[in-house]
Structure 1
């Protein structure tokens, strides 16, 4: 019996917090087996289902490894699951205390380039909306965006006014997604040099993001940030 029970922690959230504290203080050491559900339920004075819910949450957060017939172990190195949270560029800029501006540069219906079609698992004959735009902070270039949108998945995009509202904002608000991927890479500015007002050889951060609605691809967007841009992530 541990002496760390605050009153009667009979909710799964309270039990999770106690278990998390034991993991962090090494009462349960990395790699070790923790007591089974029946033992924990007896200790906490609650139903096994309540303990199960708490352990499921800790496993989903990457702190426990649960296996049938093998028990539940504390992870040697906790694995935190990353989630895809698509930011609004406007909010990112304004959060820095800067004035945001959006400039549409290109809008056309065109067949996707081979690499885009391949990444979206398309045949290449689909109707796609190709847009390019520039996002500015205090009047200076902040991010150049090159985006392909699958019209069959998001037909309403063809009637959207993207002269004032960026594709980034329209899709975040109007097009729900089930999953996606993001890739980060340092590249030479290349074709993004003009909009970003930098040299073609200047190193910039590029973010490739692809989103899906189940099996249907929604968008393929490549974002290029100015050389001075710094990316911060919350862990």
Structure 2
């Protein structure tokens, strides 16, 4: 508050939103954690409670906060966007189907991205990228082959993560909030991925390319190719 004990009307809800978002990104407020209440935040920012409320509502609408009456406001463990599709946890999807989940890291290395990846991520050429290839299985049968490029300039913490134990999919969903992205679905022949999906190179497989961003900073591009028998269901 100001010296007179009154709220400062010059403090905007947008500035509070941006500060709170920065804290979520830095995990000052960890996934699942209860954040301070509106009264305490209003005192901290020196503004009216209504200004804090507007900022938190915007973050909740954007999918970063979960607000419940009498239960407080928490940081979402898996942030959801306003879009109709949320990024799935492959492990959770396999388990939900009744199958036993297994994950294998096939390759992890710093690498130079090909032109298609550079174009999708709008890279300048100076960024450091981590390439991660992995296989997800359901009841010992290949479920999905994943080829992922991660921009370390945007999410540097993943470089220290043991990806033999935690998949990049799961770590990014839980630890790297995103603001927007794109998803493309198409059918193509398996090609070299057939050796991982246990199918012939000319067998058709469903492939999805997803790109996510944190404002203007690219986070990751992932190409996920599913076994020929895979079926996908979307709830509308």
TM-score range relative to shorter protein: 0.5 to 0.7
> Which 5+ residue runs of structure 2 have no aligned equivalent?
1-81
Output the CA distance in 2 between the equivalents of 1:112 and 1:91: 29
Offset at 1:82? Answer: 4.4
Offset at 1:114? Answer: 0.9
Offset at 1:83? Answer: 2.6
Over the aligned positions, Cα root-mean-square deviation in angstroms equals: 1.0
Output the CA distance in 2 between the equivalents of 1:164 and 1:110: 21
Cα deviation per residue 1:25-47 (whole Å; 9 max; x = unaligned)?
Answer: xxxxxxxxxxxxxxxxxxxxxxx
Task: Give the number of equivalent residue pairs.
Answer: 155
Offset at 1:192? Answer: 1.0
Other-structure match for 1:152: 153
Other-structure match for 1:122: 123
Compute the TM-score of the two structures, normalised by the length of structure 2. 0.64
Cα deviation per residue 1:79-125 (whole Å; 9 max; x = unaligned)?
Answer: xx843400000011000110000000000001111110111000233
Alignment of 1:64-213 (within 5 A): 82-213=83-214
1:231 aligns with 2:228: no
Cα deviation per residue 1:191-235 (whole Å; 9 max; x = unaligned)?
Answer: 211110100100000000000000000000000000000010001
- Kindly indicate whether the alpha-carbon contact (under 8 Å) linking 1:84 and 1:180 is maintained by their aligned counterparts in 2: no
Output the CA distance in 2 between the equivalents of 1:128 and 1:173: 20
3-state DSSP class of the match of 1:105?
A: strand
> Which 5+ residue runs of structure 1 have no aligned equivalent?
1-80
Report the structure number with the largest CA radius of gyration. Answer: 1
Compute the TM-score of the two structures, normalised by the length of structure 1. 0.65
Other-structure match for 2:46: none
Other-structure match for 2:36: none
3-state DSSP class of the match of 1:124?
A: coil
- Kindly indicate whether the alpha-carbon contact (under 8 Å) linking 1:112 and 1:124 is maintained by their aligned counterparts in 2: no
Offset at 1:183? Answer: 0.3
Offset at 1:190? Answer: 1.0
Output the CA distance in 1 between the equivalents of 2:198 and 2:139: 14
Cα deviation per residue 1:155-185 (whole Å; 9 max; x = unaligned)?
Answer: 0010011001100000001100001110000
